[in-house]
Amino acid sequence: MQKEIDMFSTYLATERQLSKHTHDNYVRDLIKLQQYGVSEQLNQVQDIQVIHLRLLIGKLRQQGLATKSIQRWLSSIKMFFRFCKKQRWVTTNPTEGIQAPKADKKLPKTMDADQVSQLLNIDGSDFLSCRDKAMLEITYSSGLRLSELAGLNLHDLDLKAATLRVIGKGNKTRQLPIGSYALRALQDWLGQRKTQLKDQDEQAVFISQRGIRISVRNIQERFKKIGASQVGQHLHPHMLRHSFASHLLESSGDLRAVQELLGHENISTTQIYTHLDFQHLAKVYDQAHPRANKKS
């Protein structure tokens, strides 16, 4: 099938005008198919059937090829056979109906309670210290997304009731509790906030030193810097949200409540934290059970 691959390669370079890197990836993927065809005496493109592709996917998995790489490979093969059918080299497309293996969900990175405590132990009463501590506390206390934290407005806060309101994904509003530590940090910050305002009508809860709403990028950079100095690791805002969810689920076991607090539409999204919880239990088991680590 060298002729067909060469013509497809020309099509990618001239008509699709793909970058060299992307073009070379497609060609490498097709070489895998070609090599498999030679090994199975499938020398013509029309010899390749659905069963052969399924067997090859299984072989690639056995060889340790990552799921994402297999997904990309199958995407290349599908495009190739669509091209082949358009050229009338094949009458049927053997890739139709073949689904790529689903990628394993990566468990979110979390911090344990001691790490969070160390992270939030920020001294100082200056503008940046008060603001950064309040942002960290409120993110962990209420499990906010980065966009929700940046978009928080004064009218979203009810300090007397210790609650806040956010508009999350899908433009859905949810009301969340504010923990006592976060409430105290927020009150300290609001006192500092007044000193830096340029426009008294500014509604953003968290502002930059320029007196305007702090940007998402600025928050990311501040969290990264604080994470490095406080706990010696890269910190992104979602890590605190993940820690919030994991710690709540670990303590309460109430998956539905955690789903509501996180603003997840489907409980399957929240269920990933049950895996984190199991990892914690498995670790305790390994450390505590007298026969857990017995060597065979």
By three-state DSSP, how is residue 177 classified? strand
Residue in 54, 68, 169, 217 annotated catalytic: 169
* Of residues 134, 161, 160, 162, the one with CA closest to residue 149: 134
Options 193, 242, 247, 273, the catalytic residue: 273
11 a catalytic residue: no
List the beta bridge partners of residue 173. Answer: 167
Q: Is residue 273 among the annotated active site residues? A: yes
- Residue type (1 letter), 176: L
Is 169 noted as a catalytic residue in this protein?
yes
Q: Considering 131, 241, 242, 247, which one is annotated as catalytic?
A: 241
Q: Tokens 């409430």 belong to which residue? A: 183
> In whole angstroms, what is the distance from residue 15 CA to residue 20 CA?
13
- Of 23, 78, 85, 264, the active-site residue reads 264
| Residue 86 in tokens | 């358009």
Say how far apart CA 296 and CA 293 lie, in whole Å. Answer: 9
Neighbour-count burial of 137, counting CB atoms closer than 10 A to its CB (0-12 exposed, 13-18 middle, 19+ buried) = buried
The H-or-E segment that residue 50 falls in is helix 50-62
- Helix (H) or strand (E) holding 137, with range, is helix 127-142
295 is catalytic: no
Question: Is 26 a known active-site residue?
Answer: no
Q: Residues 85, 145, 184, 236: which is the catalytic one?
A: 145
CA distance 117 to 135: 14
Instruction: Tell me which residues are annotated as active site.
Output: 145, 169, 238, 241, 264, 273
